[in-house]
Amino acid sequence: MPDLARWLDQIRATGGCAAPVHLAGHTTTLASDTGEVLRHYTTATEPGGRLAVRCRNRRASRCAPCSREHSGDTFHLVRAGLSGGKGVPDSVRTRPRLFVTLTAPSFGRVHRVGVCHPARRGRCEHSGRHGCGGTHSATDVLVGQPLCTSCYDYPGHVLWNASAPTLWKAFRVFSSG
């Protein structure tokens, strides 16, 4: 295999990616003033006519090596954003920031994928139970449906979703000012 060395270079460059993306095509960079070709690259000369690159998936369940690399990158970016460095001025240290996670309120218990809510002590005044105890697949039509339709806050759910854009806009305006 005459192109084995290049193929091994591609494998090393993916860093052990579990699902590399294979690119095919070409790119040409021209000088804007003269039109001269500054760089030209084509995958036609690569092994198999394609170039393997990392998938860069953030989920460890999909690709542990890319997830590990991303988590390290995230740490350094967040740190630089708080204390300066990596092109961010050191003056950011004097302007404290918050990392806020915004979560919608609960409108009631719903069926979920996997082992659904186990039965708990006490009883719902409508259906007589607080749990399901069943096992649901991701395609089960019950997933996301209320355990008890009488206990579920449908008006609150509708109002929250109708108001979410306005609430988000107000939060952004308040937090940037």
The reply to whether 61 falls in a domain is yes
Q: Domain limits at 15?
A: 4-53
Question: Is residue 176 assigned to a domain?
Answer: no
* Residue ranges, the chain, pLDDT below 70: 96-97, 99, 119-123, 127-130, 174-177
- The reply to whether 149 falls in a domain is yes
Domain identity same for 17 and 33: yes
Nearest alpha carbon to residue 27 among 46, 14, 8: 46
6-45 residue pLDDT tens: 888 988 889 888 889 999 999 999 998 998 999 999 999 8
Residue 170 included in any domain: no
Q: Three-class SS of residue 21?
A: strand
Residue 171 lies in a domain: no
What is the Cα Rg of the chain in Å? Answer: 26
**Same domain? 16 vs 32:** yes
**Total domains present in the chain:** 3
* Same-domain status, 159 and 109: yes
- Residues 110 and 159 grouped into a single domain: yes
**pLDDT > 70 fraction of the chain, expressed in percent and rounded:** 91
Q: Which residues pair with 110 in a beta bridge?
A: 146
Q: Are residues 23 and 40 in the same domain?
A: yes
